[in-house]
Amino acid sequence: MQPPRRRAIALSDLLPNALGPAAARQGFAGAEIMARWDTIVGREIAAFAIPQKLAAPPRGSATDPDSPPPTSVLHLRVEGAFALEVQHRTAEILERVNAHLGWRCVGQLKFRQGPIAGFRLSRRTPPPTLPPATPGESAKVEAAVAPVAEPELAAALERLGRAVLARRRVTGA
């Protein structure tokens, strides 16, 4: 009888437990928001904004029993040049965070501008560049996209098709 096989565990699965005490000191009940920030808000936003603190509403702030419960404030550190972009996308960020949490926990964002390089949990590596499509792949994609009348959609589908075929060639999938 063989011993059970151990598999590698993703670092993202270990982070919530490892960050638990530090996250609790910053108001995060769990480290979920911090550990899964890229997944929650997307790479585009996560590239220039990171969560710093989740401030719970003051105790006793709900006076009317018919009113919705008070919400928390999520403090973000934002690269200075992108603060306006994050401000414009506040509704989107709130929606994504609350959807991840499963209830309307966060109702407001507050920003602190500054570099975020020293505050990241890990260094992000850019996605690998794919090799250019072969002539056969290009012909196949062009034939598949030919019936699409909308030029912008056709161009997007063509880029997607070339990327999929190139990735298959690289990964063998």
**6 HSE (CA, 13 A, CB side):** 3
Residue 89 is predicted with a pLDDT of 93
> What gap in Å lies between CA 131 and CA 128, rounded to an integer?
10
pLDDT digits (tens, 9 = 90+) for 20-31: 555 555 555 556
What pLDDT does residue 95 have? 93
Q: Residue ranges per domain, the chain?
A: 11-119, 135-171
Q: Is the pLDDT of residue 10 over 90?
A: no
pTM for the model? 0.52
Mean pLDDT of 69-80: 87
Report whether CATH 3.30.300 matches the domain 11-119: yes
Percent of the chain predicted with pLDDT > 90: 18
At residue 119, the 3 state secondary structure works out as helix
Stronger pLDDT, 24 or 58, i.e. the higher one: 58
Question: In Å, what is the CA distance from 72 to each residue of 26, 50, 56?
Answer: 12, 16, 5
